[in-house]
Amino acid sequence: MTTATPVLLTVKEVMVTLKVGRTKVYDLIRTHRLVSIKVDGCRRIPTEAVQDFVRSRLGEAA
């Protein structure tokens, strides 16, 4: 059985992935450091956006 990677994540899933709180995720969205979209009023974050955010943070740390 193959487990597909989700294309869009909820704020809660991003919180778990990045190990940060809800306020921090919304702060990253508000400051355009994390891309998001709204689907029927629900905030969703592309998996690729989370990966890009982590890559950019790793680049800054190097």
Domains of the chain: which residue ranges?
Answer: 8-61
Sign for the CA dihedral angle at 24, 30, 34, 36 comes to: positive
CA distance 61 to 33: 16
β-strands 37-39, 8-9: how paired? unpaired
Whole-number average pLDDT of the chain: 93
CA distances from 4 to 8, 33, 45, 54, 58 (A): 12, 26, 16, 21, 25
Q: How confident is the model at residue 1 (pLDDT cuts 50, 70, 90)?
A: low
Q: Is residue 32 predicted with pLDDT exceeding 90?
A: yes
Q: Is residue 30 predicted with pLDDT exceeding 70?
A: yes
* Nearest partner of 53 among 24, 23, 43, 2, judged by Cα: 24
For residue range 12-24, list pLDDT tens digits in order: 999 999 999 999 9
Tell me the CATH architecture of domain 8-61.
Answer: Orthogonal Bundle (1.10)
Q: Is residue 28 predicted with pLDDT exceeding 70?
A: yes
Mean pLDDT of 31-58: 96
